Amino acid sequence: MIYEQQAREMRVLVCCCDEEAATRIANVLDDCHIERVSDKESLLAAVVATPADLVVTGQGTSGAEAVAILRNIRSIRPDTRVILQPKRSTREDVVAAIRDGAFSYFSRPYFEAAFGEILRHAVSGAPWEDSIAVNSATPMWLRMFARCELTTADRVTQFMNELSDLDGKERESMGFALKEILMNAMEYGGKFDRERFVEISYVRGQRMILYRVRDPGEGFSLDELPHAAISNPPEEPVRHLEVRDSKGMRPGGYGVLLSRKLVDDLIYSEQGNDVLLIKYLDLPTSETAESD
């Protein structure tokens, strides 16, 4: 879906960011009016005085403080998008941020490209307020519904990365797998129709992290996906590219195959529109010893 370009310069407030971080934001949003404020009191005064399109908080806040800022802003200016970047965070903070309508949340080491993409989404002018609906939320079990659109897929993936509490390569791999499955669900199940929703769940058990993605489509069989790499016979490893080209489809088709390699279990329901992604966790040494 194509949205109309903004007819005015977008106003962005950057709070509690050091000069280097503020400069990075300004470089990404070079066609926006950027204002930097030093503390939350100055930020709230600026929001009250003049509407802002986007607020970005920096690492001068904790997760709880960032969520409090979010609530204050949305009580004053509910249309303002808010991206939180606290220095310290818990799963409880992330859940609260999702529930209270944060546009996005970055508290752990992250790719600058991912942050830049979320910044661009935030000033794109695309509808967003009701794109993520939380059905039930605890730090161990979160269930939400997301509209079938690219911006929402990126936002959901980032929220889930923050919740996962995996580190380094494992978090990157799990996030990539989730994004691929989520995009497939939105594209093929939901036809990128923003009036349709994908259901996403996150479950954090003692020995696993589980994502569930259920799309609104009629389903499919993995044996009937000639446009996907997972269906290629061993002697024709790129046959699906020819199929995609003949159908006028975008390049790709590797999502399911890559996702299966990046998680410990990838399980489809019989209908094919309900998927589980599972990462098994090692027990801490002390707990292992107690169980022996």
Q: Which amino acid is at 233?
A: P
Across residues 30-46, what is the average pLDDT?
A: 93
The reported pLDDT for the residue numbered 210 is: 97
Q: Domains in the chain, start-ordered, CATH in brackets? A: 9-125 (3.40.50.2300), 127-292 (3.30.565.10)
* Structure token digits, residue 267: 């399980």
pLDDT tens, position by position, 109-139? 788 899 999 999 999 988 899 999 999 999 9
Secondary element (H or E) of residue 145: strand 141-147
Tens of pLDDT along 172-229? 999 999 999 999 899 889 999 999 999 999 999 999 999 999 999 987 655 555 555 4
Residue 56, phi then psi, degrees to nearest 5: -120, 120
Q: Please, is 166 exposed, middle or buried when counting C-beta atoms within 10 Å of its C-beta (0-12, 13-18, 19+)? A: middle
Max CA-CA distance within the chain?
A: 66
Q: Bigger pLDDT: 242 or 184? A: 184
Length of the chain: 292
Where does 44-140 show beta strands of DSSP type E? 54-57, 81-84, 104-105, 132-137
pTM of the model: 0.84
The more confident residue out of 18 and 34 is 34
